[in-house]
């Protein structure tokens, strides 16, 4: 008798789970206890898999169960596949009983603000696991399901309920060797001889700044980057002078990697905003926000 062709679709995962557990225990009863099924359900799942594959997987006796040659051939691949599925699922389950708080944040904030201080947070709150999701553009947040969002943009872009991270202003920074080569007092026009670095998307860039200062020969950026963090990295590397956000430069200045050029601060039309989202972890959410606002509060050394 000729068997009908096997369907191209895979058998249900439940059938494979029943087979794998039964093969491991050589018992439908023990497999049922492990998976939370009845012994009859395990037997039916295995029988259905045998029918689909067109071969017998077990030799059934009154009180024993043995694998056939086909069953022995199938066991390694099914065991490996179940292991891969288990490993894949584990990545999304918090370790132990710790709460996992998800933070979607500007890449610059993650690198220059959170990373330098995160050890203090984890030491203070060892019961909280953090997942950091970095973003660049505002629409990146639409794909995230975060407990907290730290966005960069104008008030109309960051959304309702977002609080501005202060102080919020732009200033001009450079590596110590670049800043030290400028004669005091520094004028805006003195910077023409240096490469000018600017993040794209700023309402107030080098050209707008020189227009405000009523310079006849306006300044223009030489290097455009997509984040304030990249502007800071280039400035630290000595690639030029950067017009960038205080919240991203403050730690580099405190470490001595950057110097602030003695020119007036520029009010930032776009800033960093913190938004609290609906969450199952309101207490942990507030603990992170309290810590974050603590590490970003104005520094008397930098003048806030």
pLDDT band at 95 (very low <50, low <70, confident <90, very high): low
Name the strand (E) or helix (H) holding 85.
helix 69-90
CA–CA distance, 229 with 40 (Å, rounded to integer): 61
CATH, domain 13-90, list 3.40.50.300, 1.10.760.10, 2.40.30.10, 1.10.10.10:
1.10.10.10
Q: What is the mean pLDDT of residues 28-48?
A: 91
Mean of all residue pLDDT scores within the chain:
87
Residue 118 contacts residue 145 (beta carbons within 8 Å): no
What percentage of the chain carries pLDDT values higher than 70? 89
Fold matches, 13-90 and 169-267: no
What percentage of the chain carries pLDDT values higher than 90? 62
pLDDT of res. 150: 92
Nearest by Cα to 151 from 203, 100, 103, 199: 103
**247 CB neighbour count, 10 Å cutoff:** 24
pLDDT of res. 1: 39
- The CATH-assigned architecture of domain 169-267 is 3-Layer(aba) Sandwich (3.40)
* Burial per residue of 42-72, b for 16 or more beta-carbon CB atoms within 10 angstroms, e otherwise: bbebbbbbbeebeeebbeeeeeebebeeebe
DSSP annotation of 2: P
pLDDT of res. 97: 66
- pLDDT of 232-281, one tens digit each? 999 999 999 999 999 999 999 999 999 999 999 998 999 999 999 888 89
DSSP β-bridge partners for residue 133: 104
DSSP annotation of 190: G
Looking at 162-171, 192-201, 209-218, 294-303, which range is the least confident one? 294-303
> Model pTM?
0.65
CA–CA distance, 152 with 107 (Å, rounded to integer): 10
Residue 75 pLDDT > 90: yes
- Locate the domains of the chain by residue range: 13-90, 99-165+271-295, 169-267
Per DSSP, the three-state class of 129 is strand
C-alpha distances in Å from residue 173, one per residue of 20, 170, 257, 302: 63, 10, 10, 13
- pLDDT of 221-233, one tens digit each? 999 998 999 999 9
pLDDT band at 94 (very low <50, low <70, confident <90, very high): low
Kindly report the CA angle at 287 between 282 and 289, in degrees rounded to 5?
95
Domain 99-165+271-295 has CATH 3.40.50.920: no
Residue 129 pLDDT > 70: yes
CA–CA distance, 26 with 20 (Å, rounded to integer): 10
pLDDT of res. 8: 61
- pLDDT of 186-217, one tens digit each? 999 999 989 999 998 788 899 988 888 888 88
pLDDT of res. 35: 87
């Amino acid at each position: 008798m000729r068997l009908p062709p096997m369907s191209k679709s895979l058998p249900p995962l439940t059938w494979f789970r029943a087979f794998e557990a039964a093969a491991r225990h050589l018992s439908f009863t023990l497999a049922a206890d492990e998976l939370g099924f009845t012994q009859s359900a395990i037997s039916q799942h295995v029988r259905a898999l045998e029918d689909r594959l067109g071969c017998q997987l077990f030799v059934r006796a009154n009180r024993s169960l043995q694998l056939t040659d086909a069953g022995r051939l199938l066991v390694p691949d099914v065991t490996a596949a179940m292991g891969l599925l288990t490993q894949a699922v584990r990545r999304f389950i918090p370790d132990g009983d710790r709460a996992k708080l998800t933070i979607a944040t500007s890449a610059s904030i993650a690198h220059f603000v959170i990373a330098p201080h995160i050890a203090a947070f984890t030491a203070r709150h060892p019961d909280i696991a953090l997942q950091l999701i970095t973003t660049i553009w505002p629409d990146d947040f639409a794909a995230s399901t975060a407990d907290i969002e730290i966005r960069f943009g104008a008030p109309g872009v960051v959304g309702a309920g977002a609080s501005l991270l202060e102080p919020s202003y732009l200033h001009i920074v450079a590596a110590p060797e670049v800043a030290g080569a400028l004669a005091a007092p520094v004028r805006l026009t003195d910077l023409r001889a240096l490469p000018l670095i600017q993040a794209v998307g700023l309402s107030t860039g080098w050209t707008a700044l020189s227009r405000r200062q009523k310079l006849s020969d306006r300044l223009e950026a030489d290097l455009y980057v997509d984040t304030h963090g990249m502007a800071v990295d280039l400035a630290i590397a000595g690639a030029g002078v950067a017009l960038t956000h205080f919240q991203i430069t403050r730690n580099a200045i405190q470490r001595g990697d950057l110097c602030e050029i003695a020119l007036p601060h520029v009010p930032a039309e776009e800033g960093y905003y913190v938004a609290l989202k609906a969450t199952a972890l309101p207490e942990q959410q507030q603990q992170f926000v309290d810590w974050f606002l603590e590490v970003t509060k104005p520094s008397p050394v930098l003048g806030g």
